[in-house]
Amino acid sequence: MRLLYSALFYCLLPFVLLRMLWRSRRAPEYRRRWGERLGFFTVPSPWSDERPWLWLHAVSVGETLAAAPVVEALLARYPDHKLVLTTTTPTGSEQVRKLFGERVFHVYAPWDLPGAVQRFLKKLQPRLLVIMETELWPNTIHLARKAGCRIVLANARMSARSARGYQRLSGLTRPMLTQLNVVACQAEADAQRLQQLGMPESGIEVTGSIKFDLDLDQALQQSAATLRADWRCDERPIVVAASTHAGEDEQILAAFRRVREQSHDALLVLVPRHPERFNAVESLCMEAGYTPLRRSTGRVPDANCAIVLGDTMGELLLLLSTGRVAIIGGSLVPHGGHNVLEAAAWGVPVLTGPHIFNFAQISELMVAAGAMLQLENEQDLPGVLVDLLSDATRLERMGKAGLEVVAANRGALERLLAVIGREMSRPA
């Protein structure tokens, strides 16, 4: 089955390249560094010593941010190893450089083609591969294990929807899962689905979600305090719409118009998930009658400003600190939602649409604690948002509940690092 998959991938490669060119119209970085995706790259001289490699893979910005404490721990605990951190998107690449600079070696992950993966592995010969979340590629896993690399699937989640997709390809999925050494799952439901797909029970551990171990360090808290003061957050209602996708911005703008009818000084901080959409979302704001202030200008929104467009990378966590309410994107369309804990960690109440299946367990905890409202359908957004902003007591109660949920569920990071430590002590 894997050989058939590989042959199909090779046949589709021209279309993959065309898609990269198409995406590069709005994000030029997609047309650069293609050699890395095919396993062709040069290891710079600072990394040419004889220390063995550890490999951590994070798809894009969200996974890279979630992996940040894992990376820091690996750098601190294994100074006798070098760390290569791979991503698949330019925004993920930019985030790696911003967070870690020259402390890690960064290249794009090779496409899941036998030749590309073999070239990557031959050049680095990593001792351990840590894959964040559920980025499962048959050739990468098979060839890494064949090359003597131990493999940990970290912070793993498997929604019911994803499980159905993997089940349809059971001939590919089952042998792939059996080649993983350990899967560290976020929740028991994820563990059960992975076991049903073919992962041996002996290789599954429930360690919790490392997203609960989010660290709001002193520098970030100081930046947040400065931003809140500059924007006069205590004097006007601010709604942060985080990580929005196509089809959501129009809904949020319509709901915000209702908010402005009740609170004429309300401010919307609108943060699209993908940078190639920044200009399109700005146009949507203007069509709705607003002139958005782009965050990248560095200017402070005045009393007449209705919308700040979050067009910078890596600032979402900071921008969430300004909110009286946070609407989490990816949930008003059937994408599956995004991390609700980044808002909760600031004590900001969370509002989502009905499509939050990628974070089902976390969302259940948040809703049960009273820290989050999940809409039954998208059409309810305007009324619920207006009602919520008019109830200061409820907002305060939701914010405190969110802080309690985050505090009560910390500890997954140390459990994951214990799993990695055990794998480091074992032969390939």
Instruction: Catalogue the active-site residues.
Output: 63
Calpha distance 232→248 (Å, rounded): 27
> What value does the CA radius of gyration of the chain take, rounded to a whole number of Å?
22
- List residues bridging with 352 in a β-sheet: 328, 374
Residues 6+ apart with CB under 8 A from 373: 349, 350, 351, 352, 367, 384, 388, 398
Is 311 within 8 Å of 296 (Cβ atoms)?
yes
Is 268 within 8 Å of 308 (Cβ atoms)?
yes
Is 125 within 8 Å of 99 (Cβ atoms)?
no
Picking from 147, 41, 30, the residue whose alpha carbon sits closest to that of residue 84 is: 41
Is 234 within 8 Å of 323 (Cβ atoms)?
no
Residues 6+ apart with CB under 8 A from 408: none
Tokens matching residue 248:
């959501």
Residues 6+ apart with CB under 8 A from 11: none
| Other beta carbons less than 10 A from residue 314's beta carbon | 14
